[in-house]
Amino acid sequence: MGGWDGKRAVFAVALALAAGDARAQTLEQDEARIEELMAAGAGASPQQAASAGAAAPTYDDSVKETPVVAAVVAPAPSANDEWLAASTQDDSIPFAELRYHVGQRVLITTSNEREHNGIVTSADARQVTMEIRRKGGLATYVLKKEQILRIEPR
64-109 pLDDT, tens digit each: 666 667 777 777 777 777 766 666 666 788 888 888 989 999 999 9
Domain around 124: 95-153
Q: Is residue 84 part of a domain?
A: no
Q: What is the C-alpha separation between 138 and 154, in angstroms, rounded?
A: 18
Q: Is pLDDT larger for residue 115 or for residue 70? A: 115
Q: Is residue 3 part of a domain?
A: no
Q: Is residue 32 part of a domain?
A: yes
pLDDT at 117: 92
